[in-house]
A and B are shown apart, each in its own frame.
Chain A
Amino acid sequence: MKRYILKRVLQLVPILFGITLLSFILMNVGTADVIDVMESSTGSALTEEEKQEMREELGLDRPLPEQYGRWLLRALQGDMGESFVSGRPVFPEFVSKLPATISLTVSSVLVTILISVPLGILSAVRQNHFTDYLIRFLSFIGNSLPNFFVSLLLIYFFSLKLGLFPVMGSSGGWKSIVLPTLTLAIAMASKYTRQVRAAVLEELKKDYVTGARARGVRERKILFGSVLKTSMLTIITLLALSVGSLLGGTAIVESIFMWDGVGKMAVDAIAMRDYPVIQAYVIWMAVIYVVINLATDLIYHYLDPRIRLGQEEA
């Protein structure tokens, strides 16, 4: 097991090298750099000399391979450099945004599970009854609404009309996480309710369920003791992907609710061609996906020991 985990972690090295190089190349495809973009966004005019001095200060006047090499060398020493735009060290700036992103991820995944698992099971058990139709209809609606629209609807009803929650994420204490959580959870729960329903229905058709029923095992025990556990494999795969995506931030929801997470930071950095911040984000995303995939594999193994891990298969 330890060897397997070590191997997966080591796989990160070529992945990180590859994606940081790729993102660096892509960011330099255009002719405009951060200095041009900042000049344009401030609506000001800089002379060519001023721009050149600023480029020299940031090292943007050097050849591209040298720029990447310098960044890589510093990164290997644990220094992610300074943001071209804010001038602040990238690593502490990035880390300061993580609690907001992680808390929103945890809360929205918990709410998603709390909504989708019971409703999915109920929908499967009541297949082709009114309850099933109603849940499927609602999940269809929830799936169809884009995040920004759900956000605005929630703010309109719960903040403006009922006054229950604050509009701005930064000013409402614990209440401020409720609406962004619901925004994310509504879309995810709508999707997962259908997945849980499908997975449970498939399991219910299997022979061991028929056998259990023939032996007189109670329906509840079959459902919660066996069916649900097996169905969870599918759900965990999907949840893992969602957790990865949520930990990467949700720029639109963060902007609307003024939630100070990494998503908006990344989108702003891309717009401004703030290369050191983009690289930090790219590394974060790679680490997230590798770690989450690893965690998912370990959970698979725990839930169903027949599933073997990496080398153990060989």
Chain B
Amino acid sequence: MKKRSGILTVCLLAVCLLSGCGSPEQGTAESTGEKVFYYGDTTFNAENDEKDVNPHNGYSGWACIRYGIGETLFKYSDSMELEPWLATGYELVDENTWVVTLRDGVTFTSGRAMDAEAVKECLDHLVEVHERAKGDLKIREITADGQTLTIRTQEPVPALMNYLADPYGCIIDMQAGITEDGNVSGTGPYRATEVETDVGLTLVKNENFWNGTPKLDTIYVRTITDGDTMTMAMQTGELDAAYGLPYSSLSLFANDPYTISSVETSRSFFAQMNYATEALQDPNVRAAIAGAIDKEGFTQVLLEGNGSAANGPFPESFAFGDASVTAQPYDPEESRRLLAASGWTDTDGDGYVDKDGEILSIRWLTYPSRQELPLLAESVQASLKEIGILVEVNCTANHLDFIENGEWDIYASAFVCAPTGDPEYFFTTHCLDDSTKNRGGYHSDRLEELEEQMSGTFDPEERAVLATKMTQTILDDNAFVFASHLKMSIVSGEGVTGLTAHPCDYYEITVDLDKN
């Protein structure tokens, strides 16, 4: 009897535990005839600093805007130029004063009308709690009058309107507040009803959306870290669409009923030279390395066409992008000649060039969390061997320690070079004397001068011209070698329309998304 009750207890325990494994979403929506959409994503997680949908918290603004919860005052066109969104326009009164006119008839999901006072409250809170926004916007004072917002800055901020289009600039209702789980009331076509870090979120349509009627009743966004799981979930139809599928899986979705939307983004994969390394102080050696990297082979073969060979930090879709600059062309013969001109020749026939008895070897440091970077390291190792340079690859999650200790010669990384569509950000973070990510100690008088001009230039066209000159400067010095731009792909399943990849990488779920 005791044994039987013991077994019964174990069985009951198992049933109780297993019954807790189900998902509340199961079978609810389809049975009521609602339009339900399942979206797989790799990015909604704390590791990406996207813990929730509160735009005032780290990089969570990306989730807020990506999933159609929040909108910014201005947005980017397909060519990354500013367009009105919640604002209808702006006027630069003087170097430090901007007047922004807001759109009429917009309401938050809380029901409150979006006016200048609401936007002021939101931006005041943003610069109070968000270090990056505070540093970018440099806001001294905001005043509100009806639908007119006046922003005064502490110093000239030529890219202020671009910064306001950054996802952290999503306008949310501060009177409705930010919930404990990081949920907010925005103006987008959807509102979140459930937010669970690292797991996903549930969205329902915003019935009072100002710019059309959202077509889906409920959207379940699921964070999926394993690429194979995401691939097979797309194949079984558990997902209607997926963002961030592994490159190797994309060919499975090349034909009907699937559609792939791809676009070049400003997330670039590039290498920077360490000027503390004696060999790399020689311009010929840097040029030889830059000219021996087979970018086309890397993007077409190793990335299976899911990337484009880069000249500089910005893709062609930008006015100051790749079309306007020239990089060291791929020419191994010329690279060998350059090395020989600097005294690097293969004197002992071992396949590697040497000088004063030392072979030319490079410590290539990179990290594995971006699937492209280890592939780039392997590709470079093979390419540089062709011209007699030995590459020792160090691909480690601990890369920051190696940088700190100076144990590297070339560091390859991934970076979103123009997250707000403005070029200055890349140079101020990577290329100037006081840039935090100028890890190799690069210095150029010309670049410093150009930046001086850039920081006081407001006209977007003039800024584009300056950006082109600045890019050309760092390319002429071969201080950086840009290998490729990330091609972002979103795969949609049968009947899905209105899901398009955008160069800025953060417009995904919009009012146009539908499933039939």
Contacts and interface: CB of A to CB of B under 8 A. Distances in A.
Contact of A42 (B23, B49, B200, B401): B49
B267 interface: yes
Contact of A167 (B49, B200, B232): B232
A46 B132 contact: yes
B21 A173 contact: yes
B235 interface: yes
B256 interface: no
B154 to A, nearest CB: 15
Contacts of A83: 46
A85 B48 CA distance: 9
B131 interface: yes
Interface string B50-66: 01000001110000000
Given A110-B14, A170-B23, A177-B18, A85 B51 contact: yes
Given A38-B49, A45-B436, A272-B47, A100 B401 contact: no
A216 interface: no
B226 interface: yes
Contacts of A256: 226, 228-229
A258 B131 contact: no
A184 B199 CA distance: 22
B215 to A, nearest CB: 22
A41 B199 CA distance: 18
Given A168-B224, A260-B199, A268-B47, A102 B401 contact: no
B429 A155 contact: no
B347 interface: no
Contacts of A46: 131-132, 436
A156 B429 CA distance: 45
Contacts of A54: 131
Contact of B401 (A30, A53, A169): A30
A14 to B, nearest CB: 31
A118 interface: no
A63 interface: no
B286 to A, nearest CB: 23
B38 interface: yes
Contacts of A102: 17
B135 A50 contact: yes
A152 B230 CA distance: 12
Interface string A161-188: 0010011111111101100000000000
Contacts, number: 161
B445 interface: no
A176 B25 CA distance: 13
A86 B416 contact: no
Interface string B24-37: 01100000000000
Contacts of B25: 171
Given A42-B48, A155-B232, A172 B23 contact: yes
B174 interface: no
A159 B22 contact: no
B19 interface: yes
A171 B17 CA distance: 16
Contacts of B414: 43
B198 A171 contact: no
A174 B22 CA distance: 5
Nearest to A37: B400
A86 B224 CA distance: 18
A41 B131 contact: no
Contact of B17 (A36, A86, A106, A255): A106
Nearest to A155: B232
B236 A258 contact: no
B437 interface: yes
A171 B38 contact: yes
A31 interface: yes
B46 A32 contact: no
Nearest to A110: B14
Interface string A61-88: 0000000000000000000000101111
Is the contact region of chain A dominated by helix, strand, or loop, or is it mixed? helix
Contact of A50 (B10, B132, B401, B437): B132
A107 B14 contact: yes
Contacts of B419: 44
A86 B401 contact: no
Contacts of A173: 21-23, 26
A41 B232 contact: no
A168 B226 CA distance: 10
Given A86-B51, A174-B22, A268-B198, A168 B229 contact: yes
Nearest to B417: A43
B59 A42 contact: yes
B12 to A, nearest CB: 11
A41 B48 contact: yes
Contact of B19 (A36, A40, A174): A174
Contacts of B47: 38, 41, 85, 268, 271-272
Contacts of A103: 17-18, 20-21
B91 interface: no
Interface string A98-126: 01101100110010000000000000000
B224 A258 contact: yes
Contacts of A50: 131-132, 135
Contacts of A174: 18-19, 21-22
Contact of A53 (B131, B198, B199, B416): B131
B13 A106 contact: yes
A47 interface: yes
A43 B505 CA distance: 13
B14 A106 contact: yes
A172 B26 contact: yes
Interface centre among B132, B199, B233 (most CB of A within 10 A): B233
B398 A45 contact: no
Contact of A86 (B20, B197, B236): B197
A298 to B, nearest CB: 15
A85 to B, nearest CB: 4
A279 to B, nearest CB: 17
A43 B416 contact: yes
B21 A255 contact: no
Given A85-B47, A155-B229, A171 B401 contact: no
A31 B405 contact: yes
Nearest to A41: B47
Contacts of B23: 170-173, 176
Contacts of B436: 45-48
B120 interface: no
A300 interface: no
B485 interface: no
B415 A88 contact: no
11 contacts: A30-B398, A31-B404, A42-B48, A42-B58, A45-B425, A54-B131, A99-B17, A106-B17, A255-B229, A268-B46, A268-B47
Given A42-B59, A88-B51, 7 more contacts: A31-B400, A85-B49, A103-B20, A107-B18, A170-B200, A171-B25, A258-B225
Please provide the 4 A-B residue pairs with the shortest distance between their CB atoms, ordered closest to farther: A45-B429, A32-B400, A173-B22, A103-B17
Interface of A: 30-32, 36-38, 40-48, 50, 53-54, 83, 85-88, 99-100, 102-103, 106-107, 110, 152, 155-156, 159-160, 163, 166-174, 176-177, 255-258, 260, 264-265, 268, 271-272
